[in-house]
Chains A and B, each alone.
Chain A
Amino acid sequence: MEEKKVKILEELKKTFPDKIKEASAPFGDETIVIDRDFLVILVDFLRKKPHSYTMLLDLTCIDYMDRKPRFEIVFHLFSLSNNHRLRLKVPLPDEDPWIDSLTFIWKNANWLEREVFDMFGVEFRGHPDLRRIFMYDGFIGYPLRKDYPLRKRQPRIRLRK
């Protein structure tokens, strides 16, 4: 079966000329960088026909520490009907790292967003149940941030030594 060619980057740049901040294809993976205000509109556009990016494969965060803006949320979308992947990147500033929640579109975003909140302290606005998912109650700080001390321990019980 011949794979359908998707020229998604050109088409998106044509449709939203001032919103797409950066579009590239490193190692053949189409990637676009957008602002957080534009996220919901773009995702709503992408998941409908003809693009049909109906599946959220992954949602994660990167802490660049010394770069401005510091954080970057990465979405990996997959189109089942076109057999095509797309990567969205949304930079977030250090002072107020918030982004709109996508749980109302994809149910699996719920736990992925909770993980990012737990590990990086990014606030997902509109999330129905934004609690820690991996770390326990009483854990202070966000362990995957680059400025979290490498050897810092927060045991739940008193250790024997």
Chain B
Amino acid sequence: MEGNFFTTKFNSILGWARKFSLFHYPYVTACCGMEYMSAACAHFDIDRFGAGWTRFSPRQSDMLLVVGTITQKLAPVLRTVYEQMTEPKWVVAFGTCAVSGGIYNNYAVVQGIDEIIPVDIYVPGCPPRPETVLDALVKLQEKIQKQEQEWRWKRRK
């Protein structure tokens, strides 16, 4: 029997499976999109970390990348997109505008997307370098691995 099996917890293996199969939905509204393209395409290649699939439908994606400025006019749209995503789901605020509103503290811009939807990881920078994005992705994977997982037939207390 030596070498033919290993033991783990179901919570842990589910986290392992989920963290390496992050389908992401790019919600790109502004110039940060350029850095997103750079991070997503061959030069920096987030596919190395298991997040290569870009799903242009919120219903098929796990990770919502909010890339760019979110205005008050756009806020209901972003919340609808978030609500359409199926569990489990994670949100990345990509760039200073999505994190805090950035330089735009005025009548039009939402001061951070956490005013609308819950955010798992904040990526600073205007725009963030692809290395920052990759670092954020790795940190999100650590978070997914450690978190309490949910599954359908889970026994609840």
A: residues with CB less than 8 A from B are 134-136, 143, 148, 150-157, 159-161
Q: Is the CB of A155 within 8 A of B72?
A: yes
Q: Is the CB of A157 within 8 A of B73?
A: no
In the complex, chain A residues whose CB is within 8 Å of the CB of B72: 136, 153-156
11 A-B Cβ contacts within 8 A?
A135-B108, A136-B72, A143-B106, A148-B107, A152-B107, A154-B107, A155-B75, A155-B115, A156-B73, A157-B76, A160-B115
Residues of B44-79 at the interface with A, using a CB-CB cut-off of 8 Å, are: 72-73, 75-76, 79
B-side interface size class: 10 to 19
In the complex, chain A residues whose CB is within 8 Å of the CB of B107: 143, 148, 152-154
- Please pick, from B75, B105, B117, the residue contacting A156 in the complex, using a CB distance under 8 A: B75
Bound form: Cα–Cα A151–B105 in Å: 8
Task: Name the prevailing secondary structure of the B interface residues.
Answer: loop
B35 CB–A CB distance under 8 Å: no
Bound form: Cα–Cα A143–B72 in Å: 13
Bound form: Cα–Cα A151–B108 in Å: 10
B116 CB–A CB distance under 8 Å: yes
With both chains docked as a complex, state the minimum distance between the C-beta of B49 and any C-beta of chain A, in angstroms: 29
Bound form: Cα–Cα A154–B109 in Å: 10
B76-115 to A contact mask, C-beta < 8 Å, 1/0: 1001000000000000000000000000011110100011
Q: Which 6 A-B pairs have the closest CB atoms?
A: A159-B115, A143-B107, A136-B73, A157-B76, A155-B72, A157-B75
In the complex, chain B residues whose CB is within 8 Å of the CB of A154: 72, 107
- Please pick, from B79, B108, B118, the residue contacting A157 in the complex, using a CB distance under 8 A: B79
Q: Is the CB of A159 within 8 A of B108?
A: no
B117 nearest CB neighbor, chain A only = A160
Bound form: Cα–Cα A161–B110 in Å: 12
With both chains docked as a complex, state the minimum distance between the C-beta of B125 and any C-beta of chain A, in angstroms: 23
Most buried by A among B79, B105, B106: B106
B105 nearest CB neighbor, chain A only = A151
With both chains docked as a complex, state the minimum distance between the C-beta of A15 and any C-beta of chain B, in angstroms: 43
Q: Is the CB of A143 within 8 A of B108?
A: yes
Bound form: Cα–Cα A143–B117 in Å: 26
Extra pairs beyond A135-B73, A153-B107, A157-B75 (10, CB < 8 Å): A148-B107, A154-B72, A154-B107, A155-B72, A155-B75, A155-B115, A156-B75, A160-B115, A161-B114, A161-B115
In the complex, chain A residues whose CB is within 8 Å of the CB of B117: 160
Bound form: Cα–Cα A80–B18 in Å: 61
A137 nearest CB neighbor, chain B only = B73
In the complex, chain A residues whose CB is within 8 Å of the CB of B115: 155, 159-161
Q: Is the CB of B114 within 8 A of A160?
A: yes
Bound form: Cα–Cα A55–B16 in Å: 61
With both chains docked as a complex, state the minimum distance between the C-beta of B100 and any C-beta of chain A, in angstroms: 13
